[in-house]
Structure formats: structure tokens, C-alpha cells
Chain A
């Protein structure tokens, strides 16, 4: 089983749509989870951390289900500027420096 698994997409949605991305991780001992956004040929940028209680930042909502080892990201009222690859990321606390383990990313294309 891959360490972090995501549906690669692409997800093609119209402006204003609600879209949800899912991710599963294999290490049940993982404790830190993130969604990063990556634009084409650019660096990953933190979108939001994911907490057990779930968290919301404007149009973005992240959820964590530890029992199922499942993370989700919901984007409401999609904008053209949301078009990017969304990376599910887990920090590996088994090592000394909490390296990040990335999923392959889910490509979102928001259409006008």
C-alpha cells in the first residue's frame, strides 16, 4: 500500500462548484497532516494543516478520520484561481526531523 494515496484526477468543475478530494495514508502512527497546493512548475505551498476536530479556512474545509486513516479537503464556491494540484501530505514522526511524505496530488481544473 502506498504511504499516501490520492486520486490523481483531473477534476474538471465549473466555477462555483463544490469539490471534494480524498486521501488515505498507511501509517496509523502518523500525527500531522497537511494539504499543500502546487501550481504548475512551482513549489508546494501550505494550504492548511488538518486537525482531528476538522478545520475550516474560508471556502476550504479539511477533515481527518484517524480510524479510517482518511483525510479530505472540501472546496466550496470554486474560483478559477483554485485551479492547481492539491497535495495530501503526512509528516513522518518516526524519523528525527519529521520529513514530509507526499501523495501524487489531485489536479483540479476550474472552468469558466
Chain B
């Protein structure tokens, strides 16, 4: 069964450093998402991406964040200058996108980011 993959599974970084989180969505999917979950809190939407551009972003997704689809398979989230409060689990998700809003979003296993 096709699945969303993410690398790395864990990332430890120093405050102020740049990190890039990588995702490979399911191959024929058209919509891509990043969510994050701070430990003990709910899953929160960050950004969605369709047709090679950002479709929607939350207030969390400020100028320190960017997303890119550099080739036909990868979807990346970059945090330019990490803060302590960026420590969280980051989930990538993708959706086929043919039938409007009812379709399932499939989540990757997540990258656990720890900012020291």
C-alpha cells in the first residue's frame, strides 16, 4: 500500500539554525500539507500546497517557514532560524484531490524536531 514517507525521523538542532524536513507524498496525490503537534497538544495545520504553490497557511506559518516541491517527488518544509518553541512533531500529509473535500488525507510518520 502506498504511503507518505518523511525524513529524518528525528532532528536535533541548535536555536537559530536552519532545518529542512523532507517528505515524499503518495505518488499520484495532488494536495500536500504540513501539520505540527507540540508534545501534549493537538495537531495543528501549518500550510497546504497545490499546483506548485501555497494554497493556504495558518498564522503559525510565518516568514521563518517556507515550503518547496523541488522535484516531482519531494515536498520540503524549511525553518530558517529555529526557535525553542518550534520543537514539535511535524507531519506531512497528502491527498489525491479529485473529489472535493471528502477525501482522506494520509499522514507520514512524522519528524520529531528538538530545538536546544
Report which of B48, B50, B91, B102 forms a contact with A32, defined as CB distance below 8 A. B102
Please determine whether B41 and A97 come into contact, CB atoms closer than 8 angstroms. Answer: no
Q: Which B residues touch A46, using CB under 8 A?
A: 104, 106
A30 — nearest CB in chain B belongs to which residue?
B101
Residues 38-92 of A contacting B (Cβ, < 8 Å): 41-46, 49, 87, 91
One digit per residue, 1 when the CB lies within 8 angstroms of any chain A CB and 0 when it does not, for chain B 15-45 equals 0000000000000000101010000011111
One digit per residue, 1 when the CB lies within 8 angstroms of any chain A CB and 0 when it does not, for chain B 90-109 equals 01010100001110111111
A31-B101, A32-B101 known; A43+B56 contact, CB < 8 A: no
Please determine whether A41 and B101 come into contact, CB atoms closer than 8 angstroms. Answer: no
Q: Compute how far the CA of A97 lies from the CA of B67 in the bound complex, rounded to whole angstroms.
A: 16
Interface residues of A (CB under 8 A from B): 31-32, 34, 41-46, 49, 87, 91, 93, 95-105
Report which of A87, A95, A103 forms a contact with B55, defined as CB distance below 8 A. A95
The A interface is mostly helix, strand or loop, or mixed, namely loop
Please determine whether A102 and B107 come into contact, CB atoms closer than 8 angstroms. Answer: no
Please name the 6 residue pairs, one residue from A and one from B, whose CB atoms are nearest each other, closest first: A97-B48, A98-B101, A43-B107, A102-B43, A96-B55, A99-B45
One digit per residue, 1 when the CB lies within 8 angstroms of any chain A CB and 0 when it does not, for chain B 76-116 equals 00000000000001010101000011101111111010000
Q: Compute how far the CA of A87 lies from the CA of B37 in the bound complex, rounded to whole angstroms.
A: 13
Residues 45-61 of B contacting A (Cβ, < 8 Å): 45, 48, 50, 55-56, 58
- The 6 sampled A-B contact pairs (Cβ below 8 Å) are A31-B101, A43-B110, A87-B42, A87-B43, A101-B45, A102-B43
